[in-house]
Structure 1
Amino acid sequence: MKKLGIIALSALVLGVSCSDEFLEVPPASSLGDAQLQTLDGVEGLLIGTYAALNGVFGNRFEGPNHWITGSIMGGEANKGTDAGDYAAINPIQRYEGDPTSGDLNNLWRGRFEGVSRANRVLATLEAAADVITAADAQRISGEARMLRGHFYFDLKKHFNSIPYFDETVLPTEIPLIPNTPDVWGQIEADFQYAFDNLPEVTDAGRVNRWAAGAYLGKAYLYQGKWAEAKAMFDDVIANGVTSNGLAYALLDDYAQIFNAENDNHAEAIMDVESANNTGSTQNANYFDDLNYPYNTGPDGPGNCCGFFQPSIELGNSFRTDAMGLPLLDGSYNDPANEVANNFVHVVVDGQDEATFVEDPGNLDPRIDWSVGRIGIQYLDWIEHPGSAWIRSFPYAGPYSPKKYIYYRSQENTFTDGSSWTRGYALMNYTIIRFADVLLMAAEAEVELGNLAAALALVNQVRARAANSTFWVRNAGTGDLEANYVIGEYTSFPDQAFARDAVRFERKLELSGEGHRFFDLVRWGIAAETLNDYLAYESQYLVTKFGGASFTAGKNEFYPIPQTQIDIQGSDVLTQNPGY
């Protein structure tokens, strides 16, 4: 499938004709309708649509993991590095982005390119009905509509008001379609069609029936259709299998979710495949090439760049009480509960990094699967050395990213080192994983008043994290690297408590995976939560966040790119409120 993806790109370059007959010659390397209207031709177009999951134009905002628009904007990470590096992100992370952002325009373009590719598959499939079997047509149309639903869902959660067109709309009509927030019905229809028509088991990397079911449940959840979401999640949890036939399950070892050697595992419901040595690093995780600890030596991954540093606030969130439960009242940010982060205090308080004492307090073990901290074993590299891996303490904070980082033992086997950095890794990015589904199901149960059911789902996720066999240990001594204390909830006393518990569990379990901002927006608490985050974080990172604020009624959605408004006209595309 990965090899076909490269070949399929040529199928997307289509010939044009002029009025003079001698000019009616297809461009070199293009395929005409006769070639495309075959099973191989349609499959090639479909693989080209899969390729768009990884982004089309090579812009890092296009990446499926939304490390900027989902995680940084959700307060669980900072841009990292220093103020001058990729400065275009600076106003965006301060909630000061504007419609002229080229990065947001590329995100818009990339997702609509995915929509167009899916539509081309469906249109060509219809034209080739006489030569493609009903079974193949059913599967291909299910995959194309599932992918189209994903691209539109992604556009909806970023921009809210978007133009919608399917394969029946003529190209000349598309520029005349206005944007509207009323597209949930079409998105649901695509996922429902995919759920009804896709097989359960197919090639690893392709979407299947249960991925469509999980995504349909997620679409219901975003709209507050709690009963519909619950019914779909119940079915997925009880009966779902991966595309390669594994029953959905939580992995015993949390770290293996993000390990390239364990791709296509039982927790992967929908993912984006990666590959190396294909002639283009864009087939690897190019969108993460900046997101490694800032280092230039052989003892750290990537030899770059210091972006995507977990926030100080996120680190504190992993503090637990004597029972191993999170501090849902927000007191994890109190001075007595802050996780020791000596990097910042070197600057703020003039402390000596050499005198740093590791945090002795109770911590959820997921902190050291998710956050690179001084003195803690960093995968199979070395203990995080502190200042040697941080480009600017006062600008970026004390931490390094740790998810979706390759291991020392994987250098040049599970990485693509053919470009400017060694940091093109090959682990698949998981768009939806099983723990995500369990917690979305728990959310639906809470809103329906089924607190015991929600409790069991949350505790299932926490029980996996409590498996001490896989807690982070020092590579030399084998000793645990921190005082890990995590427990299960004994009860959810009321709906408000249960709601807070489920939401906080998503923060801990899914940190750095691009979900947080969109969760806060759909819960209706983005302004309150993110302004509190800015107030806290700016105590340390004043040069980055001083004076920044989230504006309710505006910053919940990104601006419609001005370039697109200029192309289609302001009478067609309407700008989002506040921009």
Structure 2
Amino acid sequence: MKNTQSILSLLGLMLLLFSCSEAFLDEEPIGEISPDQILRPENLEGAIISAYSILNGQMDNASSAFNSPASNWNFGDVVSDDAYKGGGGTGDQNQIHQMELFLTNPSIRDVERKWLALYEGVKRANLAIRLIQESGEMEATLANRRLAEMHFLRGHFYFELKKIYNRIPYVDETAVTSEDYYVSNTSLSDDELWGKIAEDFNQAFDGLPESAEEPGRPGKWAAKAYLAKIYLYQENWSAAEAAADEVISSGQYELMPNFREVFLPENDNGQEIIFAVQHAINDGSPNNYNGSIGDRLMAPGGPFYPQYGFLRPSQNLVNAYKTNSLGLPVGDNVIPEEGQSFDPRVDHTLARPGIPYLDLGINYEASWARDLATYGPYGPKKRMVSALSPHHLQIWPYVNSLNYYIIRYADLLLWKAEAAIQTGDLEEGRTYINMVRERAKLGSRVLNLDGTSEADSYLIDTYTTPFAGKEAALAALKMERRLEFAHEGHRFFDLVRWDEAETVLSAYFEVEKERRPHLSGAAFTAGKNEYFPIPQNQIDLGRELITQNPNYE
């Protein structure tokens, strides 16, 4: 449940510890208080909250956090087969259009801002760790807990950097001067870098309480869940499964009964959420920048919302929700015909013409869509908040207080399933896939406007017979991740870690170029586009220590 006394409510008291420069190498703190004062416990809390404040991608008191959003909608959704950029045509935020075509270059604003935001988070976590260690004034138990929190945050920021840019400089709390921040991005091997990130989460696990002391702070099992994710990315299947088992056995989490309820702000620190970026509106923060500022361009238009119209669902994604007579995915990428049945998550996830939009008492219509001719008739829905809700801001910047979920329990269950399948236990994998599908099967469906019947023909069931083999089991797992997590910023990174990005996206573009001509120049290049380029300004400032990613030269 949304709690205004959570860690986010402390941001109004936050100390601004850093200037936000155009280079993470610039490590110049603002001298607002003396060194002796900063080591006092009450001021140390300011340094800690300062590190948390970067989680939402907002780093410079500007409204352009949509270029560095926590949700990664531009880095994980638009560059996948799940979404088009949207907006007012290809020239509107054209750099994101270049990203969806895979014409990304090292000077693109989003590539630069995401890097800066994440390294700002690293800097703040490093400073907080160093200050806590130097202070000696904070009560020992509390100091250990706060150190664990900062290791968790630093691990998160580095995980994001690793999955987006791959080859990154690693700097820890021993860096004090600006000179200490001039570090090569190739000095650590891939395994060594993953090891550094895992070390942060292991330290977090050792120092955190069983459960979070208040919304916004991680507990012990959030750190273990993140370790499961790291092992998954390393394809260390046995370690991933063991970590996932520990989290499951902790009893800390469970699936909410209804898929839709997961995405209601009043529930977003609920039983399914393992760790989330906290959002709030009307909390006294300047310009409501503690709200979902990174996602503010998603407003779908129509009579209730501004017509920003970004993150538009692809036809390919709509097709993925089709089900057969057994209630299982069809998977044929053919446009649905009249009478087609769907996984009920389709109308909780995206807006389709003729289907009610949230609780507004009105059907979504194609006319809501900005630039309908370019991007088609569908709109975002899953992470939109009802315009009637007190958690939605009706004035600029039109943000809401729905948290962004970094890890939810459904994630953990499907990681467990994936690791089990990869180690040969197909039945265990089927069990955990079915746990996620069972929720969708038994949960609520979207009804028509007068509430007398379902808004479309919904049919979903679990996998009732054993998988034919490992390949079939993995195909079911991968489809389930897509259906469950569409538009949560994960799809592209899943395709990359599965080594399927080239295959899936090439097939996607071959069809979509006929449906959506704005994608006519799109092409995924293997060995290049799995990762984004290192920002050019970092290479220019890096004293020849920063090496560009392959094939971006």
State the TM-score, normalizing by the size of structure 1: 0.88
State yes or no: 1:387 paired with 2:362. Answer: no
Aligned partner (choices 87, 93, 108) of residue 86 of structure 1: 93
Separation in 1, partners of 2:181, 2:486 = 38
1:148 aligned residue: 154
1:168 and 2:165 correspond: no
In the TM superposition, 1:468-547 aligns within 5 A as: 468=443, 470-490=444-464, 491-542=466-517, 544-547=518-521
Of structures 1 and 2, the larger Rg is shown by 1
Deviation at 1:27, TM superposition (A): 7.1
1:370–1:511 Cα contact (<8 Å) kept = yes
Match of 1:446 among 389, 401, 421: 421
Distance in 1 separating the partners of 2:42 and 2:234? 38
Give unmatched runs, 5+ long, in structure 2: 1-6, 21-28
* Distance in structure 2 (CA, Å) of the matches to 1:392 and 1:382: 24
Structure 2: distance between partners of 1:127 and 1:536: 59
Distance 2:385 2:361 in 1: 13
1:371 pairs, out of 350, 356, 365, with: 350
| Pairing 1:209–2:220 present | yes
CA gap of 1:133–1:448, structure 2 versus 1, over 3 A, is same
Q: Distance in 1 between matches of 2:436 and 2:184?
A: 42
Check 1:498–1:203 CA distance in 2 against 1; reply closer, same or farther (3 A cut): same
Out of 144, 168, 185, which is 1:179 matched to? 185
Contact 2:85 2:312 in 1 (8 A): yes
Tell me: CA distance 1:101–1:228, structure 2 relative to 1, closer, same or farther (3 Å).
same
Residue 24 of structure 2 corresponds to none
> One-letter code of the match for 1:534?
F
Residues 205-232 of structure 1 show CA distances to partners (whole Å, capped at 9, x for unaligned) of 1111011010011001100011111000
| Structure 1 ranges of 4+ moved more than 6 A | none
User: Aligned partners of 1:199 and 1:12: how far apart in 2?
Assistant: 29
2:30, 2:521 → 1: CA distance?
A: 54
Paired residue secondary structure (1:539): helix
What is the aligned residue count?
525
Rounded to whole Å, the distance in 2 between the matches of 1:549 and 1:481 is 37
**Whole-angstrom CA distance in 1 between matches of 2:251 and 2:528:** 38
Change (3 A) 1:282 1:526: same
Give 2:387's match in structure 1, choosing from 408, 411, 420.
408
| Structure 1 Cα separation of the partners of residues 279 and 516 of structure 2 | 35
Q: 1:127 to 1:385 in 2, by over 3 A?
A: closer
What percent of counterpart residues are identical? 38
Unaligned runs of 5+ in 1: 15-25, 242-247, 341-358
The C-alpha deviation readout for 1:504-556, integer Å capped at 9, x for no partner, is 100000000000000000000100101111112111111x1113110000000
Give distance in 2, aligned partners of 1:425 and 1:198: 30
User: What are the superposed Cα offsets for residues 457-481 of structure 1, whole Å, 9 maximum, x if unpaired?
Assistant: 000000000015x111013143101
Counterpart of 2:317, as a letter, is L
Q: Residue 145 of structure 2 corresponds to which residue in structure 1?
A: 139
What is the 5 A alignment of 1:152-301? Answer: 152-180=158-186, 181=190, 182-201=192-211, 202-241=213-252, 248-277=253-282, 278=284, 279-295=286-302, 297=303, 300=304
Q: Are the aligned partners of 1:281 and 1:418 in contact in 2 as well (CA < 8 Å)?
A: no
Asked if 2 retains the 8 angstrom alpha-carbon contact of 1:11 and 1:41, the reply is no
In the alignment, is residue 314 of structure 1 matched against residue 320 of structure 2? no
Cα RMSD of the aligned pairs, angstroms, is 1.7
Q: In 2 relative to 1, CA 477–13 (structure 1 residues): closer, same or farther, beyond 3 Å? A: closer
Q: Secondary structure at the match of 1:309?
A: strand
**Partner SS state of residue 269, structure 1:** strand
Out of 74-83 and 157-166, give the one that drifted further.
74-83
2 CA distance for matches of 1:189 and 1:175? 20
Shift of 1:364: 0.4
Q: How does 1:345-364 map to 2 (within 5 A)?
A: 359-364=338-343
Cα offset, 1:171, TM superposition: 2.3
Aligned residue number for residue 549 of structure 2: 576
Q: CA deviation at 1:11?
A: 4.2
**Change in 2 beyond 3 A, CA 1:34/1:563:** same
Offset, 1:385 = 4.0
State the alpha-carbon separation in 1 of the partners of residues 357 and 351 from structure 2: 7
Distance 1:400 1:214 in 2: 32
